[in-house]
Structure 1
Amino acid sequence: MSQIASDLSIKNITFKNRIIKGAMSEALANDLGQPNHLHLGLYEAWAKGGLGCAITGNVMVDLRAKNEPGVVVVEDERDLAQLKQWAEIGKRHGMVQLIQLSHPGRQCPKGLNQETVAPSAVPFSSMLATTFATPRELTEEEILDIIQRFAESARICEKAGFEGVQLHGAHGYLISQFLSPLTNKRQDQWGGSIENRMRFLMEIYRAVRAVTQPEFIVSVKLNSADFQRGGITEQEVIDVFKSIDAAGIDLIEISGGTYEAPAMAGAKASQRKASTIAREAYFLDFAEKIRQQVNCALMVTGGFRTAAGMNAALASGACDFIGIARPLAVETDLTERLIAGQDVRYAVKPIKTGIPFVDKMAIMEIIWYASQFKNIAQGKGANPQLSPLKVFLKYAKNNVMAVIRGRVNSRRTA
């Protein structure tokens, strides 16, 4: 019997199978971060393909802090009607939907926002400093405001009809920045010891729980490691997992890396053990270790490519859900095929433009797939042969235009 096809319930929410679409940037919203018919078309395509659960791409909790052009922002009930339509797609097809709530902190391109903020004013590595500015250190008042923004966004998502939210605590975004000693140099209650560095995450979790119903799913995405020298240690990571589990989290997605060390895109594959490569998933070894420490449901994302590998991971008990991201960007019917015992059709390969400094970053692993999403949303279908260079040039042009529009709008409201 296929482990993939078996259902599983969290509280009173039933996941009809064990495949979850991991979060990927859709980049389909307008400058105000509003969802539209393209989001509906994209998620309906996945729902029709049999997907058990979809976690959305980044949804920002503050319009002043966007990680990229085209990102959805939910900070008030302005777009409640559109969000309800989005949530209804999942209900109509039996697909659970979790909104991934995020704040980019320092991790957003220069010029996109008026400023960038972070736990501490730590600059990026020289390779990325031309793209990302040195952030301003957050005040405690601002930290408390962001915590409440996460809670308000979650409340709105529940009101819209979504089954839950995922707090993005991985990949170098703001929660991850607080967790890492490389980006959190604070000397107050928000920095120093791991207990203090995880306080931001824990307070966000408590704030979300306080404004949502008990059956509302609250998940978190966490790094197994940030793959940077001097970063968060494995024991500290385990402490974070144990603390959020003890607090009552429903589901933890295990990932890894940051923009400066993008393991989430498979960039660290050469450093993985042969046994891990054979078992496909990038973070399965860590999942087996943490499985002994926590009671909540676990999801592993990254590297799965065969039905046999996924079924074996589920049968081992290391994880409860299989997270799939990039393959679903070119195969919307992949879930049904996996359940039938078939494998991923298109091998996931590094997306290369031929521009060295661009190819060293993880950015192409985001924007190339976002271009596929737009094609799917428009009913054109995916194009596995899409030119990475053309995609990047179009992205760069749109970024420049978004910066110009942002500056014009700032002058109008000044």
Structure 2
Amino acid sequence: MKNQCNIAYLLIKKYHLKACMNAINIEQPFTLNNGHLIKNRLFKSAMSEQLGDKLHNPTTGLVTLYQRWAEGGIGLSITGNVMVDRTALGEPKNVVLDEQSDLALFRQWASAGKQNDSQIWMQLNHPGKQIPKFLCSEPVAPSAISLGRGLEKSFNTPRELTENEIYQIINKFATSAKLAKQAGFTGVQIHGAHGYLVSQFLSTRHNQRDDQWGGSLANRLRFVVEVYRAIRNEVGADFPVGIKLNSADFMKGGFTEEESMQVVQTLSEHGIDLIEISGGTYESPSMMGSKSTAEPVKESTVKREAYFLDYMVKVRKLVSTPLVVTGGFRSAPAMNEALSSGATDFVGIARTMAVDPDFPNKLIENPDYGMPLTVPTTGKPLLDKIGMVGLVWYEHQMWRIAAGKETDPKLSALGVVFKSVLGAGIYAFKKRRA
């Protein structure tokens, strides 16, 4: 009996040691397949900073902001979306990177983001038809189909792209990537989520072409594959290239989970370095925490803080490409649990970084640390919606950091709306996002 107990004890001890050895936490470094080392598993997902100047170059505020985030302990920062075409802006103060850009300003931005052994990748984007009316009278898209759910009032119906224009846009992505590398950014990320142009090509709801760019999934994913190939041609095999993809659009007739997995597999086969998963579009904004107003986030999802982890578990069985899951994470225990599950290699965080740029350091120093976020509100739901409080409140926090100030978790939502009106006038109440 004593021997049996000893054997049982040894087996339990062996299992416990093995479990500890397999445990992964946020402070552990990660080496990409191309040899690039990222110092920890914390990944700042893209947020729109709206800190471009009148010529759509970076401002000194962006330099200050990303240096502060680097000092705060982040392993890898993804910039807010940088547009590849200055005639196609998603928002008024977008940064654009093309042959007309001032590379000296971009070099300062990249240098700031690389402080404290951090990495900074530039997110490259084309909005397609997600351009507000006051910025563009005739946007372009895979097909001449307007946005739905009332958004057509603020966003013009697009013109269908010609094949020659498609190739021109692909070349613009490649040019921007080449310039990002020259400026010192340590990688680039293709924005293929949230209803922008790459996402529009992937969705049967928005892409109803009858040529080689539409119809079957093989045709619909041709655009993103060609964008990736063109970028890889310009930057070489050793420069990191990632993508942000939707797990699904969560809309009838849209991009499905099964299609998303096929796109992930295809890009993985082509050698993409890192895949970040989010979900939804601005017509159905699950990236804000809910697939739809009729389908709230499940309680089990809220508890583990990961909106798209179920999807990641399925994807991990299909590809070995490094993965990032973004959406909902607020505490170190939930992040470490997600990493140890093997479903993801990095944890994407965003709004917590806008409120506290030292969030990564605090997570690493204290394995029990967490920072719940309250939803900013003016107390008037209609004003919250019109004033886009859920967006501009976090922008104002980033602007404080960019100005060298401390953030203010108690910042008045009503005050934010008032300042937005003073700063932007009538445009403050015009839709900037689809």
Q: TM > 0.5 between the two? A: yes
* 1:349 alignment partner in structure 2: 375
Deviation at 1:352, TM superposition (A): 5.7
Q: Does 1:125 align with 2:125?
A: no
Aligned amino acid, residue 307 of structure 1: A
The alignment yields a C-alpha RMSD, in angstroms, of 2.1
| 1:408 alignment counterpart | none
1:25–1:367 CA contact under 8 A, matched in 2: no
> Deviation at 1:395?
4.0
For 1:18, the equivalent position in structure 2 comes to 41
- Relative to structure 1, the CA distance from residue 80 to residue 228 in structure 2 (aligned partners, 3 Å threshold; closer, same or farther) is same
Show the counterpart of 1:409: none
Out of 400, 415, 434, which is 1:375 matched to?
400
Q: SS in structure 1 opposite 2:79?
A: strand
Counterpart CA distance in 1 for 2:190 and 2:390 is 21
* Alpha-carbon displacement from aligned partner over 1:37-67 (angstroms, at most 9, x marks no partner): 1001000111111111100001000111110
- The TM-score with structure 2 as length reference comes to 0.88
Partner in structure 2 of residue 334 of structure 1: 359
Separation in structure 2 between the aligned mates of residue 164 and residue 77 of structure 1, nearest angstrom: 21
The 5-angstrom pairing of residues 14-413 of structure 1 reads 14-76=37-99, 78-268=101-291, 271-340=296-365, 341-349=367-375, 351=377, 354-356=380-382, 359=385, 363-392=388-417, 394-395=419-420
Contact 1:330–1:384 (CA under 8 A) maintained in structure 2 = yes
> Contact 1:353–1:392 at 8 Å: present in 2 too?
no
**1:369-391 CA distances to partner (integer Å, 9 max, x unpaired)?**
11111111101111222233443
Percent pairwise identity:
48
2:26: which partner in 1? Answer: 4
Q: What are the superposed Cα offsets for residues 135-184 of structure 1, whole Å, 9 maximum, x if unpaired?
A: 11111111110000000000000011111100000001100011111111
Shift of 1:367: 2.4
Separation in 1, partners of 2:248, 2:24: 31
Structure 2 counterpart of 1:273, which letter? Answer: K
- Write the letter of the residue equivalent to 1:214: A
- Residues 259-304 of structure 1: per-residue CA shift (max 9 Å, x gap): 1111101133853333322211000110011011111100000011
Greater shift in the superposed pair: 150-159 or 364-373: 364-373
Question: In structure 1, what is the equivalent of residue 11 of structure 2?
Answer: none
Q: State the aligned residue count.
A: 402
Indicate if the aligned counterparts of 2:149 and 2:283 stay in contact, CA closer than 8 A: no
Kept after mapping to 1: 8 A contact 2:177/2:235: yes
8 Å CA contact 1:2, 1:339 repeated in 2: no
- Deviation per CA, 1:284-326, whole angstroms, max 9, x where unpaired? 1100110111111000000111100000100110000000011
Partner secondary structure for residue 73 of structure 1: coil
* Cα-to-partner distance string for 1:97-142 (whole Å, 9 max, x where unaligned): 1100000111121111342111111112242222212111111111
CA distance in 2, matches of 1:266, 1:360: 19
TM-score, normalised by the number of residues in structure 1: 0.92
In the alignment, structure 1 segments of 5+ residues that lack a partner are 404-414
Larger radius of gyration: 2
Equivalent residue letter for 1:188 = D
Name whichever of 291-300 and 363-372 sits farther off.
363-372
Q: Deviations over 1:309-356 (max 9, x none)?
A: 000100110000000011110010000111122433342426567253
Moved more, 88-97 or 352-361: 352-361
